[in-house]
Amino acid sequence: MNIFLADFILFFHFFIAFFVILGLFFPIGYKLNLALASNFYIRLIHLLLIGIIFFETILGFICPLTIIENSLRGNPVTKSFVSKWLGNILFWDFSLSYFILIYFICFLWTIFIWFYFPPKRIKN
């Protein structure tokens, strides 16, 4: 049961990372007039996520989803098929300074596109 929950957390973590990466391409969707790329709430969630990722990296925190997944597995060496392949895609073995630089660039880009390609509020 714990392996199933750990794999679920890993899938969830992967989709958050996927969303954050795709969000860096909002300007393309914005130019194509896609509603998703100009939706205020989706853009706000994206901005908050990249901000959290950047600041937790600067402060030296490990992502809570990673902590929960490792805790559920009990032994991070024991991996299921899902955790092995998604883990290889999601977790890279680079220095902390590399991640800080990449996340900082992504955070600045997200702020830039927020103002240059502003989201549109949905009128009720």
Task: State the pLDDT at residue 98.
Answer: 86
Residues 6 or more apart whose Cβ sits within 8 Å of residue 20: 46, 49, 50, 53, 106
Distance CA 58, CA 37 (A): 28
Distance CA 118, CA 110 (A): 11
pLDDT tens for 88-124 read 777 777 788 888 899 999 999 999 999 999 988 777 5
What is the chain's Cα-based Rg? 16
Q: Which residues of 86-103 are buried (b: 16+ CB within 10 A; e: fewer)?
A: bbeebeeeeeeeeeeeeb
Task: State the pLDDT at residue 69.
Answer: 85
Average pLDDT over residues 6-10: 88
Distance CA 78, CA 84 (A): 9
